[in-house]
Chain A
């Protein structure tokens, strides 16, 4: 409720909208708190199931949020991500999200389903391409628009010493005010240096807001993570990262941990070549 003098109403309304965005940036326009990872274009082999656990903690974050969202300070999220390889080029998966809030209560925080298509493993030794489609249903306290999705192109380059990946994500809402604002641009990049059984790297995540009218710098989500990976096992994944928010709308410090395991798929007999009938 506001009481004001009648002059310059239009200008004042614009200021109000801007101040609202700057003072209380919505988490919905910020980055996905449950899925802090860059896809590198790999997929489970056909018939192989996998399971990942994402644990992300906001060590120091926003202490204020506009309802129905809740402040992110000291929030820890736990996300289970089962996956399954349908073909060499197609993996499906899902996310089951929960959160331990800063006030100590534990929440169900939504579910996501995804379908990832990648170039087959024998397509190129170093380059991998792909695209991921995702659909999400999230409680309003974690996404006021509730229904959404993402289109995530994937490009990766890897050799014996390095891995680079880029995901220029298009995030969209299927309901609420986010649907009217249109799709948002949320790019993510990764660079890793392999050092024997471990890898050190940097991951960058950004949320520039709706493509039609991007947010000002102060309203954008911007994070840089220093990461540590254990790469000694081909079926296990261990990724730890410490992220620093680079803009005022970002949480100051976020820690992330990804633990994953992929079961070997069913053995497939190699193609028979030069077969001859057995001699008696």
Chain B
């Protein structure tokens, strides 16, 4: 498909100026949206990532949060480590997703994830006590030997 050539005329100059203004407007709008947004979510959606309106989920068996030691850490001669993570728990108490907050490497993150995903949780609940999918508060998982 071919387009006819532009001829330099008053109307073409005005047309070009209009396009430049439109483009600058688009750029300015985009920059304003991107730079002006401090929040990483829409204000129309008040429920943030880790807020639970009722009770947050938690370990079904409180107490020991120690997990099996990762074999990959043997090369580093590591005796102890701590991993901090959060777990998205479904209404049925089953873990769905993990967000790693702190992990020292050496396979501890993967080991802690496996450990957390294998656990049973008490699901979070809304204001009426109905179980909902929600993120746990930060969970510290210890590795000791």
Contacts and interface: CB of A to CB of B under 8 A. Distances in A.
Contacts of B39: 108
Interface string B6-40: 11000000011001101100110011011101011
A16 interface: yes
A269 interface: yes
Interface stretch (A67-75, A161-169, A199-207, A209-217): A67-75
B41 A2 contact: no
Interface stretch (A30-38, A98-106, A173-181, A183-191): A98-106
Contacts, number: 178
Interface stretch (A82-90, A225-233, A252-260): A82-90
Interface in A1-28: 1-5, 7-8, 11-12, 15-17, 19-20, 23-24
Given A47-B19, A84-B19, A23 B107 contact: yes
A219 interface: no
Contacts of A266: 15
A111 to B, nearest CB: 4
Contacts of A45: 3
A121 B96 contact: no
B78 interface: yes
Contact-residue size bin, chain A (C-beta under 8 Å from the other chain): 35 or more
A130 interface: no
A139 interface: yes
A64 B106 contact: no
Nearest to B44: A106
A17 B96 CA distance: 26
A276 to B, nearest CB: 19
B interface: dominant SS: mixed
Contacts of A96: 30, 33
Interface in A113-141: 113, 120-122, 136-141
A194 B26 CA distance: 35
B119 interface: no
Contacts of B19: 46-47, 84, 86
B80 A3 contact: yes
A166 to B, nearest CB: 22
A278 to B, nearest CB: 21
B4 A269 contact: yes
B18 to A, nearest CB: 9
Nearest to B34: A137
A24 to B, nearest CB: 6
29 contacts: A1-B102, A2-B108, A3-B81, A4-B76, A4-B77, A12-B77, A15-B106, A16-B76, A19-B106, A19-B107, A19-B109, A24-B100, A63-B96, A64-B109, A70-B49, A70-B99, A73-B96, A82-B26, A84-B22, A84-B23, A86-B16, A94-B27, A102-B88, A104-B133, A105-B49, A108-B41, A113-B31, A121-B3, A141-B40
Interface of B: 1-7, 15-16, 19-20, 22-23, 26-27, 30-31, 33-35, 37, 39-42, 45, 47-49, 72, 75-82, 88, 96-110, 113, 117, 133, 135
Given A64-B97, A86-B23, A106-B42, 14 more contacts: A1-B82, A4-B77, A12-B76, A15-B106, A16-B106, A19-B107, A20-B105, A23-B110, A71-B99, A82-B26, A86-B20, A102-B96, A103-B96, A110-B34
Interface of A: 1-5, 7-8, 11-12, 15-17, 19-20, 23-24, 45-47, 63-67, 69-71, 73, 82, 84, 86-88, 92, 94, 96, 102-108, 110-113, 120-122, 136-141, 266, 268-271
Nearest 5 Cβ contacts at the A-B interface: A137-B34, A16-B105, A5-B77, A139-B40, A12-B76
